[in-house]
Chain A
Amino acid sequence: MTARVAPPPITAARVREIDAAQADPIDLRDIVLEGGPVVVRGLVRDWPLVAAGRQGAQAAADYLLSFYNGRPGVGYTAPAEVGGRYFYDDSLTRLNFEAQRVALDAYLGRMLAHLGNPDAPSFYVGSTDLDQYFPGLAAAGNDLPLDGPAFGSLLRSIWIGNRTIASAHYDMSNNIACVAVGRRRFTLFPPDQIANLYPGPLEPTPGGQVVSLVDFRAPDLDRFPAFAQACDSASIADLEAGDAVIYPALWWHHVETLSDFNMMINLWWHPSPTFLDSPMDTVLHGMLSLRDRPAAEKTAWAALFDYYVFGPAERPVSHLPEEARGPLATLDVRSARQLRAKLLQRINR
């Protein structure tokens, strides 16, 4: 088998754990509301996909592909020398891997054919919508009971690969990541660690989200000195097949696989209504409107944002009669449309 060994973790701190066998039933909603990451050992140990994985990589792939509808997906292939780290070339303007539209069964075949080969390229099928590519898989007992409005906009995805590293990044939804096959390490950081993680360019990005420039395998503290502080806030979740880690939206996570063949199914959700825009658009517009103004003005705007946006939603309206509140009141489908029309008109100049 492969001679490659996993690099040491950047911290000894571990994510809080509970054992699914000891805490029956698990209230996933309660865990999520706690607001920090939690590992649930054995949360999905009874999944048929996990059982198939115990028979080996081929059995797991066979079981998965029995649900495949043939739709072409995307395979991300990186040369062996990048060591599975899907990232940039030295220019930070180009990526160090290739994305190709592939038949997923053939691509998994290539992946399996290289099992045990230490010089194999990295193969990765990332963030692939379970219901659109493997319909029926979730319903066949490979799912979690996440019903109700707390789990709105639920998206199930599958991630398949050999030795791969997804550099630290955040997503905009809450996450339950369930390891089905192989071992996986999550290194997690709270959202306030952004500066200590040295985020890369807004685009291109290796997987749709801005990633940390720090190579966790050998952190360069001359270039990235504050990463030492990030390490002080980090915690690690080492997951075996059948385990899951739950963490909130916007937590930074660095994910590396520790086995030759790996599958993960994750569930993303957020409870907000779909008419709310991506706050990342607000950040981009903030660059257009705020960032390059004088410091004193920016401070004044920060107070304004605290009052209208970040503070309690009732504060700007509690002293106003209802008919005078306009977009200051909590938005609904109708008032969101009106606000959008106003913005579209104002921004087009």
Chain B
Amino acid sequence: MNRVLLNNVDHAELRVAIRAGAEFGDQVNQLPIFPSEFEEAQRAFPIVFRPEGDGLQAYVLLGLDRDENLFLDGARWTSSYVPAFQRRGPFSIALSRMRPDQLEPDEPMVHVDLDDPRVGAADGLPVFREHGGNAPLLDHVTDVLRTIYEGLETAPAIYAAWREAGLLQSITLQIALDDGLTYDLPDLFTVDRQALADLSGERLERLHRLGLLEGAMLAAASLGNVQRLIERKSLNRAAS
């Protein structure tokens, strides 16, 4: 890992390949997901929550066994959506002081891991334009990183509001395959459909007014994808 602040002088000629794969951390059975991704994520994956620190972090479930991503086929995702956490490739975002003499609030800045094999790859896309402007790849990556950064900033308050409204329920997710194989996923929280349906009055009004109702509904709807996970897993087992 050799993470450096990206700039258009030192990295004028940098090219970066867009590629997925086990060697890039894509072969995992869950990945963090952020509220602004819920709409697209819930079409493909179950969204669950795990206690982390003082709060909760949302994850999409991708597989059942260790290091199993049922949506990864070699160097390519087969799902309609790829979580921003992996879509960022070798780029990351971190606070960085623009000028050491100024006490301005630190700005979130784009960093790149120069040791990542996708960096400098022959089939890579340029990060900067000829004279130092942002190439389309960088604009895209910046959007992805903004999703992550803003998600990290805003998610805790959103999940706390859901918790306070009684929408998050502690469960052990039990998954049984057709051939009798079962998986227990303990210590999870999910958005409870019944609790959503029971919301009323001022509490409902307040969540709606804050714009927090839709995300809860999306997270609840995502649980239907557990069935899709089972189907993919069964297909895989039948094929192997």
Contact = CB atoms under 8 A, between A and B. Distances in A.
In which size bucket is the chain B interface?
under 10
B102 interface: yes
Contacts of A101: 103
A347 interface: yes
B6 to A, nearest CB: 16
Interface in B118-133: 129-131, 133
Contact of A204 (B99, B129, B130, B131): B99
B103 A99 contact: yes
Interface residues of A, number: 11
A204 B99 CA distance: 8
A349 B103 contact: no
A348 B129 contact: yes
A94 interface: yes
B103 A204 contact: no
| Interface SS of A by simple majority | mixed
A51 interface: no
B96 to A, nearest CB: 16
Contact of A74 (B103, B130, B133, B134): B103
B101 interface: yes
A204 B133 contact: no
Contacts of B131: 349
| Interface SS of B by simple majority | loop
A203 B101 CA distance: 10
A348 B126 CA distance: 14
B208 to A, nearest CB: 31
Contacts of B133: 347-349
Nearest to A348: B133
A95 interface: yes
A204 B101 contact: yes
Residue with the greatest number of chain B CB neighbours at <10 A, chosen from A74, A100, A348:
A348
A95 B101 contact: yes
Interface string A95-116: 1000111000000000000000
Nearest to A102: B103
A104 to B, nearest CB: 14
A200 to B, nearest CB: 13
A348 B134 contact: yes
A42 B99 CA distance: 41
Contacts of B129: 348-349
Contacts of A204: 99, 101-102
Nearest to B99: A204
B39 to A, nearest CB: 27
Given A348-B134, A349-B130, A349-B131, A203 B103 contact: no
Given A95-B101, A348-B133, A349-B129, 8 more contacts: A99-B101, A99-B103, A100-B103, A101-B103, A203-B99, A348-B134, A349-B130, A349-B133
Interface of B: 99, 101-103, 129-131, 133-134
Interface of A: 74, 94-95, 99-101, 203-204, 347-349
